[in-house]
Homo-oligomer: A and B are copies of this chain.
Amino acid sequence: MGGAWLAAVGDLTLTALLTATCAVLVFAPWLAPLLASAIAGLRSRGEAKEAAARPTELAPLAGEAAIRSRLYSASALGRPAVVRRGRLRIAMLAPPWIEVPPRGYGGIELVVAHLTDALVDLGHDVVLFAPPGSRSRAQLLTPLERPHPQVIGQALEEADHVAQALAYVENPANGRFDLVHDHSGFVALAFADRLATPMLHTLHGPFDERTYGFYARHGHKAAMVAISAAQLRAAPPGLNVVGVIPNPLRVDDWPFRREKEDFLLWIGRMSPVKGPHRAIEVARLAERPLVLAGPVQPGQERFFSEHVEPHIDGQNVRYVGEVGGELKQQLFARAAALLMPIRWPEPFGMVMIEALACGTPVIAFREGSAEEIVDDGLTGFLVADEREMARAVGRLSEIDPERCRSVARERFDVERVARAYESAYRLVVGATTRSLARSQTVPRTRTPRSAMRVARSHSSGSVAAPASVTSRPISTRTRSSAAPAAQA
């Protein structure tokens, strides 16, 4: 992961390198010294270029400027970049829909549950805002009367939950919070520029047609953490990404097993992008049995009946439906390998780290976050297509299950992830503190980047052509988060 970034250094702009470095600093601070000299060489060239690209009236964003000045300083990079000191008071803002941790499905809620408990274990003072029924080692506050799993994404409940939580955070009677860590959706981020408390927002979903514009318009209002560098490939420019931190799991909750059985495992939704039909082809080519696990969701019935079901024979291809709990863990632990023949830019492949935690190798197409999770030849194989995947099955004896487990623990265990978030928090809190000391502006507000269009229409029917109403032209290029370029 770090190696891939370093290999591409020659082609990077300074901005891209700095953003990538920032991610490294948070998630892999020990890599910082390796990057220091590369940055020193590029620095003067980059600064001149940036100055030319930036409109003269636009001061750099305070938070970013502070983070950059830290990165610019080679001496700062020569020693541990993040000084670990002092207890932080963190408002953890879960979504209002599902209990934390979830009883059934709930990816974000599981991340929030693990992270919150781990931060408490690290000695931080965490207040978790989540639906009633949630359980946490942190102090739990429940703005709403109940969870709302039937209306996920609705404005009424999200605004109700978020506005109450933020009012609590900013009420002096409740003491000072260092930071809001937001997982709740969109309302909190859209209004983050009206808070005095700094916010860190974890990007949980992909950038797609629906979310891209939202993040382009509101993403600058908080510091961002991505869950993979792959996720950022589709990001709009202008995001203030302070780190790439993977989703966590508790490695000790997963059973390690050295002796694997003969079967290959595929697990996921019965969707073409997830590739159950490709897994079937791979198993056929490799002459290995295959176990398919996962739900047939509404809309997937036809694909399943045409491309998957005809191959299920109970011998070479078995289908066990949706699995959870111990059955799921045993499948992961006993499988010869997990197959990931996906064809979409998945921001984070949770099943890959679950397999690794059980000591099970992963063979994955080079899509989405696969390159960041699988070390080719060490914990599995990265391949281009079904034929290569089938060949890689023949090389599984080269992979050491112990190594899979230890890599999972080093990179994805919740304590590791919580420490990475702790570093990100300190970057954001430190940047904000400096910014406040300079500007004395509370609450922080920035010139809006709205791309709102003006149309002066009359009942006669004439509608003026759209035009920008942004009062000051702002180039977001100089602030583009180019971390993904480092992977290209």
Q: Interface on A for B, CB 8 Å cutoff?
A: 117, 132, 134-137, 139-145, 153-156, 158-160, 162-165, 167-168, 171, 173-174, 185-187, 189-191, 193-194, 210-211, 213-214, 217-218, 447-448, 450, 452-459, 461, 463, 466, 469, 471-472
Contact B134 A163 (CB under 8 A): no
Q: How far is the CB of A126 from chain B (nearest CB, A)?
A: 12
Complex alpha-carbon distance, A167 and B451, angstroms: 12
Contact A453 B168 (CB under 8 A): no
Choose among B136, B141, B167, B471 the residue that contacts A174 (Cβ–Cβ < 8 A): B471
Contact A156 B173 (CB under 8 A): no
Q: How far is the CB of A470 from chain B (nearest CB, A)?
A: 9
List B contacts of A143 (CB < 8 A): 450, 452
17 contacts between A and B (CB under 8 A): A135-B461, A141-B452, A141-B454, A155-B159, A155-B186, A156-B214, A159-B159, A159-B191, A159-B218, A164-B448, A167-B193, A171-B447, A173-B472, A174-B471, A187-B187, A187-B190, A191-B191
List B contacts of A214 (CB < 8 A): 156, 159-160
Contact A450 B135 (CB under 8 A): no
Contact B156 A211 (CB under 8 A): yes
Complex alpha-carbon distance, A459 and B114, angstroms: 11
Complex alpha-carbon distance, A456 and B136, angstroms: 8
Complex alpha-carbon distance, A450 and B135, angstroms: 21
Q: What is the total number of copies of this protein in its complex? A: 2
Complex alpha-carbon distance, A141 and B448, angstroms: 15
**Max chain B Cβ within 10 angstroms of own Cβ: one of A155, A163, A191, A457:** A155
Q: How far is the CB of A469 from chain B (nearest CB, A)?
A: 7
Contact A456 B155 (CB under 8 A): no
Q: In the complex, given contacts A156-B186, A163-B191, what are 13 additional A-B residue pairs having Cβ atoms less than 8 angstroms apart?
A: A136-B457, A143-B450, A154-B155, A155-B159, A159-B159, A159-B190, A159-B191, A160-B218, A163-B190, A165-B452, A167-B450, A171-B447, A171-B448
List B contacts of A156 (CB < 8 A): 153, 185-186, 210-211, 214
Choose among B155, B186, B456, B458 the residue that contacts A185 (Cβ–Cβ < 8 A): B155
Complex alpha-carbon distance, A380 and B193, angstroms: 54
Choose among B189, B452, B463 the residue that contacts A168 (Cβ–Cβ < 8 A): B452
List B contacts of A140 (CB < 8 A): 454-457
Complex alpha-carbon distance, A211 and B454, angstroms: 33
Contact B163 A218 (CB under 8 A): yes
Closest partner residue, chain B, to A134 (CB atom)? B457
Q: How far is the CB of A271 from chain B (nearest CB, A)?
A: 21
Complex alpha-carbon distance, A162 and B187, angstroms: 10
Contact B164 A213 (CB under 8 A): no
Contact B187 A117 (CB under 8 A): no
Closest partner residue, chain B, to A139 (CB atom)? B456
Choose among B136, B160, B213 the residue that contacts A145 (Cβ–Cβ < 8 A): B213
Complex alpha-carbon distance, A225 and B471, angstroms: 33
Complex alpha-carbon distance, A417 and B241, angstroms: 49
Contact B187 A135 (CB under 8 A): no
List B contacts of A191 (CB < 8 A): 159, 163, 191, 194
Choose among B137, B189, B448, B457 the residue that contacts A135 (Cβ–Cβ < 8 A): B457
